[in-house]
Structure formats: C-alpha cells, structure tokens
Amino acid sequence: MSPSAARMLGASRQEPTDSTPVWFMRQAGRSLPEYRLLRQRMTLLEMVRDPAVCCQVTCMPVELLGVDAAVLFADIMLPLEGMGVPFQMEDGVGPVVTDPIRTEDQIDALRVVAAEEATPYLFEGIRLARRELGGRAALIGFGPSPFTLACYLVEGRGSRDFPHVRALMYAQPSLWSRLMRTLTEVLSRYLLAQVDSGAQLVQVFDSWAGVLDEHSYRESVAPHLSKLFGDLRTAAPAIYFSTGSPHLLGAIAEIGAPGISVDWRLPLREAWSRVGPDFFLQGNLDPALVLSRWEDLERGARAVLKGAGGQPGHIFNLGHGVLPDSDPSQLRRLVEFVHEFSGEYRAPARDRGPV
C-alpha cells in the first residue's frame, strides 16, 4: 500500500500516520481545467454513466493535486436511478426532480432494487478506478444520507431551508418514516455495493441536516442514520458529513458513524471535545480561503492542523466542497503544506507517551 492509502486508512482507525492525510470534497470538478475540457462534450450524467470517463475523472486529482484519496466521480442523486424517479442535473442549479414526491401513492411506488441492477456502470467505474489507482491513493465511495436525498425528492430541487420537507416530516410522521425507511434500504445497498466493488472508505453526505432543530433530527432522522451506519460498520470506515450543524453534534455522535466531517464554523478542537475521543474527524478549512492569498490559506491550514493537535485520527479536508473558481495550484500547494507541516507539528507529540 502506498503511503497515501496507508495514511487515509490509518487515520480512519485513529492510528498514528507519517503525516496527516488530505483530500478535498468536490476535488474532481470545475476547478480543474482537465475536467472542464471533458465536460464541454459530455453532460455530468453522461460522464458518470461511462465507466472509463468516471474512472478517469475519479483519478484525475491524485495526479494533479497529490491528494491521498480519490473520491468516486458521481452525484448524490444516482441512487434514484433504480427507484423510478426521473431527475435532471441543471447547469448552475443542481439536481431537479421532475415530479416531487409528496403523496402516499408516490412514496409507495418508490422501487427498491439491487444496487448492481440500478447503476451497474457506477460499480464498473469503481472497479476500474481501484485498478487504475493501484494503491497510489485510497478510493472513497459516497452517497447521500436518507434525509438529504429526501430533501431533493420532496422539495424537487435545492432550497434554502426545505419547507416542504419539514412540513411532511411534521404533518405526516408515519409517512415520513416510511419514506426514510425505503431510502435507507436503497442507500445501504448502494454503499455496500460500492465497498464490494472496491471503495475503501465511504462518505455519507448530509448536506442539509443543518436546517433541522435537534429534537426533529433526533426523532425523525437519526434512527435511520443509525440503521445505515450499523449496516456499514463491518464493511468499511464511514464518514458522516454535514454542514451548518454544530447544534446537532451531540446527536451526530450517537448515530454510529466512526468518522465525522466538521465544517469551518466549529474548531476541530472543540468538535473533538464535544464528541469524545472515539471518533476520527475530517475537516475543516473554510473553502473560501483557497480563493485568498497563499499567506491567508497557509495561516488557515496551520490553524486547522494545530486545532487537531497532532492527534491520530485527523483527515485534512475543507469544511465543504472546493469552490468552482479555486485555483488548482493553490490546492496542490495546500496538499504539500499539510504533508510537510503536519509531520513537523507532530514531532513534539512523542512527549505524550504511548498512544
């Protein structure tokens, strides 16, 4: 195994590593000219549905940026392929569900099929990418959380605070829980099939969890996440991502995800003290710093590494995805800096005695 893959997997087991592993959410997107070139002649979904292109884009950031992990090139909407729900990806908007799912009949009509049957091309893309990487970097699979997928299904598209989703959850709790159970079943199969195809870690994106209050999250969302992470427990290390959710951290610590991704609003040191020592943490540089001068970016990166305190079990990342205007050379320099500076920083940690 390469140092990169060993770093990622070691950190996910909270073992000491030679330096802090680093990758970026949305590292394989519009910030890369090589991606934009391909994208000129194919739509996003055409790219995802072609295993050779999927593999090529998945592996691209490993060469270009030097990151320790490749993340599967797909979108959080892909699990809908097998459920019989038509959707499109609109430029500049994101996913749009043609006919939002809000009634009992629509929820009952959602299909649960074998993942390999729903998106065979995706699992082929994973197998190709794993072979292509040859261990040079770890391969991360991903999917949406049941809640975040429900957000797009019910609202029909992105929204500031998803009022129709919250209304369904409050007004029809048993219908809501049926919807969540169906989505959890689909996502469990989807993520386990990614691991079977070669994904070495998986990340669950709960991008919109932050719109919920803690009570609703605990009552209507967390039980389904516990089921999902329970299913994944013996398959691969799993990371739970959410944003705008510091008020949910106590509840998040109870859903059974071994890894928690933290956005830039909460210092890692504080996050760790709130969830306790049994988790690996990912994050949490403000993505907007990548658009700033190198001096600002370096100061921010240093603060993140210091906040992690050289503790085993930190995966460096941004607090959310790479912004499309980001300069890849800044990202590349950031990767080099994290690798170098984390080693330098870790030296005094020997005084802490056995870990």
Binding site for ligand CP3 (CB under 6 A): 25-30, 39, 44, 71, 73-76, 89, 91-92, 94-95, 142, 158, 205, 207, 321
- Which strand (E) or helix (H) includes residue 62? helix 51-65
* Share in percent of the chain as helix, strand, coil (round to 5): 55, 15, 35
Distance between CA atoms of residues 79 and 187, nearest Å: 7
Known catalytic residue: 152? yes
Closest contact distance (angstroms) between CB of 104 and ligand CP3 is 27
In this structure, how many other beta carbons lie within 10 angstroms of the beta carbon of residue 131?
10
Distance between CA atoms of residues 285 and 245, nearest Å: 16
Nearer to ligand CP3, 74 or 301 (CB): 74
Question: Which member of 35, 49, 68, 75 is catalytic?
Answer: 75
Known catalytic residue: 30? yes
| Tokens of residue 266, six digits | 């909460």
Nearer to ligand CP3, 39 or 265 (CB): 39
Distance between CA atoms of residues 342 and 280, nearest Å: 16
Nearer to ligand CP3, 20 or 242 (CB): 242
Known catalytic residue: 240? no
Closest contact distance (angstroms) between CB of 295 and ligand CP3 is 27
Distance between CA atoms of residues 8 and 43, nearest Å: 31
Closest contact distance (angstroms) between CB of 135 and ligand CP3 is 20
Residue 319 CA: distances (Å) to CA of 26, 99, 167, 269, 287: 11, 32, 29, 14, 7
Question: Which member of 152, 190, 217, 240 is catalytic?
Answer: 152
Closest contact distance (angstroms) between CB of 60 and ligand CP3 is 9
| Tokens of residue 221, six digits | 């969302």
Q: Which residues are catalytic?
A: 26, 30, 39, 75, 152
